Amino acid sequence: MALSRQAMFSLNICARNLNQLSRIESLQSKPKLRSYSRPVTTALENYESSIYSSGKTEYANVNWDELGFALTKTDYMYVMNCSKGEEIFSEGILTRFGNIELCPSSGILNYGQGLFEGLKAYRKEDEGILLFRPEENALRMKMGADRMCMPSPTVEQFIDAVKMTVLANKRWVPPHGRGALYIRPLLMGTGPNLGVKPASEYTFLTYASPVGNYHKSPMNLVVEDKVCRATPGGTGGVKAVPNYSPIYKALTQAKAKGFTEVLFLDALTGRNIEEGSACNIFILKGNVISTPTVHGTILPGITRKSVIEIASTLGYQVEERNVPIEEVFDAEEVFCTGTAMVLKSVVSITYQGKRIEYKMGEETVAQKLHATLTGIQTGLIEDKMGWTVEVD
């Protein structure tokens, strides 16, 4: 199936020189697109051979030690479409990373019909590359797509798309221990819609960017007791695009006062902690680690799920339950988890003017969990859980 220029989603391709542009355009003009399960196209293989030579990995010209969590434009992105009347996504293609065009009345622009995921690829000491639990991201996207009345790629399509995106941008995967390649899959309603209804056509796209730490500074949280992140029956439990911008005001105001993150309370009672703007939260007291239960208003984080399993294997008692705000007053440690930040200790929480500080340092439980988790992610610790996937 050829890539139509009249489809509601099209690509403005950015190329570094005319040579590369002509190769990519010839790739797009082929009448039969490459299957997502087949090897990388000849054009891409030729391009990669100019980057990786003599069997030794070469890297993009990036100051890896200065990486934060911001977009660095890489080489390729991966695109699949689902046409009107179909429930199955077409074969995908790799294309140069660049701007996209959307119909002004597309579902994503007018009604926020979209989902996204986030996962990382890590470089091992031997230069191999690992993905961390991509199947979980695929399953979470399928769950979100069902909630948002959208078709979703199969688990196999999702994972293959992620792998292809990583391979095509291999030189952007940071050296071992100096960051990760963050992959952002997007599922969007791209068909034109003036009325309030699901879009007629959909696009699945994955792009990537090398990243460092999400929060380089210490984590100081402030409790937000006026703005709610999510309400029962809403979309707080899925990674929907419209979940995030409504909390920008609270987050911006908090950062203006010197805080790192906002901790939101439940909408029904205003008494239980739920999650941050982009992270799940845990509290520690004694041998017990507690985290708010996932019941529709809290995103079921994959890092959260992994930390629960690791903590249990290390002998800690893990409780998923309602956690009243009062319990942060006498917690010994507090830490947050998420794909972007991984796992980070919280220095303090401020609630109604009262500041509570927590244990920090190398001997904390949070650091122990962080070392185990990142060890598995980067291949330093044997993956007995079966969580990592080799990219080759």
Q: How many Å apart are CA 72 and CA 169, to the nearest integer?
A: 12
Q: How many Å apart are CA 279 and CA 303, to the nearest integer?
A: 9
Pairing type for strands 354-357 and 342-351 reads antiparallel
The CB density around residue 37, as the number of other CB atoms within 10 Å, is: 12
Task: Identify the DSSP state of 359.
Answer: -
Q: How many Å apart are CA 213 and CA 180, to the nearest integer?
A: 9
Q: How many Å apart are CA 290 and CA 222, to the nearest integer?
A: 19
* Helix or strand holding residue 80 (H, E): strand 76-82
Q: How many Å apart are CA 391 and CA 222, to the nearest integer?
A: 40
Length of the chain: 392
Q: How many Å apart are CA 134 and CA 120, to the nearest integer?
A: 9
Calculate the CA dihedral of residues 143, 146, 147, 150 and round it to 10 degrees.
Answer: 120
In this structure, are residues 184 and 118 in contact, taking their beta carbons and an 8 Å threshold?
yes
18, 52, 119, 268, 324 from 60: Cα distances, Å: 20, 11, 20, 49, 47
Give the active site residue among 142, 239, 257, 305. 239
Residue 73: active-site member: no
In this structure, are residues 206 and 188 in contact, taking their beta carbons and an 8 Å threshold?
no
Q: Which residues are catalytic?
A: 239
